[in-house]
A and B are shown apart, each in its own frame.
Chain A
Amino acid sequence: MLKQIANIEINVNDEGYLTDFSQWNKDVAMEIAKEEGVELTDEHWKVIDYIQEQYRNEVPLSIRKVGKSGVVSIKDFYRLFPDGPLKKATKIAGVPKPVSCI
């Protein structure tokens, strides 16, 4: 499915997650964040960087791992990305939605 984000055509799945990470850039992130009701600050970008690094290293994400990363506490993760932090943060970061239950 193609979607117009930040003036370019981006490939996304039916939930709005990017299907081609190479199409991601900061403008795309900001546009998706806006749709999700998140205003990106330095704190958010740090988390996004971490998530993308885990994705590149093929490490599966979980709330527990994010909390142990030293990048952000679980409490702050929920504050930064309310209503489903892992789902929202991965969508903004342009990586697939995690399949983790924890």
Chain B
Amino acid sequence: MNNNNEARVKKMMFILSKATLDNVYAAFIMANGARMEGIEAEIFFTFFGLEAINKSKLEHLHIATVGNPAMHIPTMVAGLPGMEALATKMMKKEMEKLDLPDVGEFLEILTASGVKLWACKLAVDMFHLKKEDLIDDVDGILTIGDFYSRATGEGTHLLFI
């Protein structure tokens, strides 16, 4: 029962600029959720967001304990060595309970689901990365202009994370 005449979301384009675990998962879950609803999805990884598709970094992403009031830890304590690792470990445990895949497996699911993964050219140059540093499933390295030019058609939305 599709209401084709309604203004439905048809394509979601995410710009992921951060590498904290919570932001990466937000982008991945929304992109995957879009595909599950028959909505097209693409992710443009820029700045620190590139870490999520960097082979040597993606399994070591953390959540931020400092500067994150939702952690409810005093800032002085949150900055102690090992706090981020501890908080990340605890969060990963909760995620596993919810049957959430880790970052690497999530990327495989996204690719298999037809989500396009793009690396930002400027950020790749800035961090002195090569295509080989990124996971093989990356669809290409684009400028932001290239990414915008893919945002065609009615019902396309861009979201910055």
Name A's B-contacting residues (CB within 8 A): 15-16, 62-65, 67, 73-75, 78, 82-87, 101-102
A63 touches B113 (CB 8 A): yes
- Alpha-carbon gap, A73 to B108, bound state (A): 11
Q: Using CB atoms, name the residue of chain B closest to A86.
A: B36
Chain B contacts for A64, CB-based, 8 A: 99, 101, 105, 109
In B12-51, which residues have CB < 8 Å from any A CB? 29, 32-33, 35-38
A84 touches B38 (CB 8 A): yes
Interface size class of B (residues with CB under 8 A): 10 to 19
Chain B contacts for A62, CB-based, 8 A: 99
Query: Is B1 at the interface (CB under 8 A from chain A)?
Result: yes
B99 touches A101 (CB 8 A): no
A-B residue pairs, 10 tightest by C-beta: A83-B38, A74-B112, A84-B38, A75-B112, A84-B37, A16-B1, A101-B33, A64-B101, A86-B36, A74-B113
Query: Is B114 at the interface (CB under 8 A from chain A)?
Result: yes
Name B's A-contacting residues (CB within 8 A): 1, 29, 32-33, 35-38, 99-101, 105, 109, 112-114
Q: Using CB atoms, name the residue of chain B closest to A14.
A: B1
Minimum Cβ distance to chain B for residue A86 (Å): 6
- Alpha-carbon gap, A102 to B100, bound state (A): 7
Q: Using CB atoms, name the residue of chain B closest to A98.
A: B36
A102 touches B1 (CB 8 A): no
Minimum Cβ distance to chain B for residue A33 (Å): 14
B99 touches A65 (CB 8 A): yes
B38 touches A63 (CB 8 A): no
Q: A62-B99, A101-B29 are in contact. Are A67 and B35 (CB under 8 A)?
A: no
B109 touches A78 (CB 8 A): no
